[in-house]
Amino acid sequence: MSFYKENKNEIMTMHLLSQIVGKIKLEYAAQEPQWAHVMLDITSRGFSTGLIKLDDSYFEIQINLMDNAIEIKTEQDMKSIDLEDGKTISQYYKEIVEPSKDLGLAISIQTNPQEMEWKTPFEEDNQHHHYKEDTARKILQWFQFAWDALQEFIAPIRQRKVYPGLFWGTFDVATIVLYNQYEPFPDDSKIIERAAFDEHMVELGFWLGDDNFDYPTFFILPYPFVDTDLKIDETFPEGSYFSPKMAEYLYEIKEDLDQVQSKQAIKFMEASLMKSMEFLKWEDTEYYFKVLKMKKNKERK
């Protein structure tokens, strides 16, 4: 059985937890294009808001999957909330938002899940209550693997970019390369899309799978969206393909995490980005890839 199907309930609970924490960052972080300000950081222990400010208080919230706790930290104090099987999203929401007032944080968020079919507000969700330590850590390990591959690929590119992080709405780890050409989304009534897609860009990302994808998958999404079938050639790793329905390049990982290497994923990203830039007719992109005049780091595994 695939990782997603075997752990669907635990992944869904973790997705909703990331939405609660992510919505707090959405509410209080300074706004950036492409919703870059709402991303959660992938850390050595879980997912974090990073440093944010509410009124006169600086704070951060981390979902610490190594210690099975949600940690709310301010300059002066800290509160820890246990992650445990059987605790509902409703309970987590109340334990995060209500006690935060004792830390001097009057946190208030919109509580409807977004970018997912499940619509029950957090405070009413008693259905999702699944937590396994091993599964939580495997989710983190997959996201760390994806973050590392995306970071290694995107870091040396000499062009405006959004660095890898967790987009909690869709529960994927993603990075973005931008071309600095304004291209408004055609339907201004769509609140998320009109801000996410308003410039020429290529999004590179990874998700754990879903009801249509059994395996963890890397994706490459060009915008403006592709309206034709793009071809795969010898520059792509075996197993890559383009989905006209999704308008994305896709590369499913069918190996276990302890067997997979980032080289093939990076090869996929490079080939897909090149083909996407060609399709979008980006000009003068050779500069993006000029080698950095730095002594190379130790060879990566």
30-75 pLDDT tens trace: 999 999 999 999 999 999 999 999 999 999 999 999 999 999 999 9
Phi/psi-derived region of residue 239, left when phi > 0, alpha when psi is between -120 and 50, beta in every other case: left
Q: Vertex 116, ends 136 and 124: CA angle to 5°? A: 80
Range of the domain at 58: 3-131
Cα(67)–Cα(59) distance, rounded to whole angstroms?
19
Same domain, 123 and 138: no
pLDDT of residue 300: 64
Cα(172)–Cα(54) distance, rounded to whole angstroms?
26
Can you read off the two tokens belonging to residue 195? 């801000």
Cα(222)–Cα(276) distance, rounded to whole angstroms?
6
Cα(105)–Cα(58) distance, rounded to whole angstroms?
9
Same domain, 70 and 181: no
**The total number of residues written for the chain in this structure:** 301
Same domain, 238 and 115: no
Instruction: List 167's β-bridge partners, or say none.
Output: 172
- Asked if residues 52 and 37 have their Cβ atoms less than 8 Å apart, the reply is no
pLDDT of residue 101: 81
pLDDT of residue 270: 98
Cα(229)–Cα(205) distance, rounded to whole angstroms?
20
pLDDT of residue 301: 61
Same domain, 124 and 167: no
Same domain, 147 and 285: yes
pLDDT of residue 110: 96
Listed as ranges, residues in the chain with pLDDT below 50 are: none
Same domain, 83 and 29: yes
Beta strand 241-243 pairing with 199-207: unpaired
Same domain, 150 and 273: yes
pLDDT of residue 104: 87
Can you read off the two tokens belonging to residue 61? 């919230």
Which of 101, 131, 161 delimits the end of a domain? 131
Helix (H) or strand (E) run with residue 86 in it = none
Same domain, 118 and 161: no
Can you read off the two tokens belonging to residue 245? 């329905």
Which amino acid does the sequence have at 264? Q
Instruction: Count how many domains the chain has.
Output: 2
- Asked if residues 103 and 59 have their Cβ atoms less than 8 Å apart, the reply is yes
Same domain, 196 and 227: yes
pLDDT of residue 100: 82
Same domain, 107 and 204: no
What DSSP line would sit under 117-153, residue for residue? S----GGG--S-----HHHHHHHHHHHHHHHHHHHHH
3-state helix, strand, coil split of the chain in percent (to 5) is 35, 25, 45
pLDDT per position as a tens digit, 158-181: 999 999 999 999 999 999 999 999
